[in-house]
Amino acid sequence: MKVKKYQASSYRDALAQVRQDLGPDAVILTTREISRSRFLGIGRRRAVEIVAAQDIRLREGRPDRHDRGRARPRAPERARPHVSSPAISRDPQPLASATPSALREPFGASSPAAAAAAGDPATRERLEELERHLSTMRVALDAVVHPAEPTAPVVPPLSEPGPELGPLYRILCEADVSPALAAEIVLAAGNGSGGDGRPEAVRAQLVERLVTSGPIGRPEGEKPRVVALVGPTGVGKTTTIAKLAGEYTFMHNCRVGLLTVDTYRVAAVEQLRTFAKIMTVPVQVAASPREARECLDKFTRPELILVDTAGRSQKHDEQVRALQKLLAAVEPDEVHLVLSATTKSRDLIDVVKRFREVGVDRMIFTKLDETNSYGPVLNVAVESGLPISYVTNGQMVPEDIALATPGYLADLVMGGRTRDA
């Protein structure tokens, strides 16, 4: 097998060089974009590099097109250079035209050179490695040349559909409600009492599926109520803590204490201290689970202690374990998972599944004012079964927070606009 490298200013030009030099049965091993120096080394320009190979077996008995009419002796097999894993070009058309027949059968199955080297372990190992690379390339090229047709979501047939069922189904789908759930809701609305699938019937089905938890519980006896907020980074946990502190300080005349263990961000500590000073609420800062436990005893006769935690990624096992240790030390009565309403449904469900390991028992949705599609809120609520406690719809502290109710959430999904709860 002859392996060569070709560089040109475009994929088309590079592939033309491959065809001219190696013929139509060339095997494309890798394609990548590179940067080359301009004339006299001043500046750089983008180019394309293709590594291609010629399988001598495929060219047996076929004269080179430049040497038609005269026999061409076969060159002896040379040691194969190491070939890196193939990369996929972002230009599918040239790759489609360069797809060789060699990719449709295992390389070296009947190659004389391969047979002669069968007794050489090092050569055989390289052959097997190249076969694996070519197999990967076959699958990848097939996916590029013959992309799968996008399939429409499977929707159950609507039994005795009224004239309004179709539009209502589309309304739910446009709000990013999953197609299967949207069909289930519309079907239930059409088959329920009244059976005409009016918007009121669809709203009733939404209300039935949206579970809320109500407000933060009251303390029992002399022991304060400890509530922790956890969640990914950037969802607004610190601002939500401040809103809850203002709500319970000013509206419920409750003695509130703030505890932050988000020492990873200096701005988060200073932000919470600023809010606490404005609301005349005491705040404690802890750097470890043990310090957090000790800080709980430093508040003077609190009724509610709100714990602000650092943002954690559901994909980092070490961060999740650290959060588990913190919550084990604090022993909160409630653990609210703070989520952004602007996040995709699939990511929301992934976050909920992972954070359930730390004991979350309800959800808070933030940033309702930054989206017009509230279907993901419904999707994750139905999928997880966790109740929703609060929603936030702005940056104002403490005004822009509201107790979640099924009716309010259903109106968001149906209408796509935020409004006061």
Is the separation of the CB atoms in 327 and 308 below 8 Å?
Answer: no
Quote the pLDDT of residue 130: 72
Quote the pLDDT of residue 160: 39
Report CA-CA distances (Å) from 79 to 107, 117, 127, 238, 351.
16, 10, 11, 63, 51
Report CA-CA distances (Å) from 168 to 183, 201, 409.
10, 10, 17
179: Cβ contacts below 8 Å, ≥ 6 apart: 153, 154, 155, 173
pLDDT digits (tens, 9 = 90+) for 139-172: 555 555 555 444 444 444 444 344 556 788 888 8
pLDDT along the chain (421 residues), means of 10: 80 83 77 68 71 61 47 46 41 41 41 52 71 61 50 43 68 89 84 62 90 88 89 89 90 90 70 84 88 89 90 82 90 94 92 91 93 92 94 88 93 65 38
Q: pTM, whole model, 2 decimals?
A: 0.60
pLDDT digits (tens, 9 = 90+) for 254-289: 899 999 887 666 566 787 888 888 888 898 888 888
Quote the pLDDT of residue 42: 58
Distance CA 384, CA 404 (A): 17
Is the separation of the CB atoms in 34 and 51 below 8 Å?
Answer: no
pLDDT digits (tens, 9 = 90+) for 353-388: 999 988 999 999 999 999 888 999 999 999 999 999
Residue carrying the six token digits 């669809």:
202
Strand locations in 169-263, DSSP E? 225-230, 256-260
Q: Taking the alpha carbons of 394, 400, 404, 409 in that order, is the dihedral positive or negative?
A: negative
Q: What is the DSSP letter of 248?
A: I
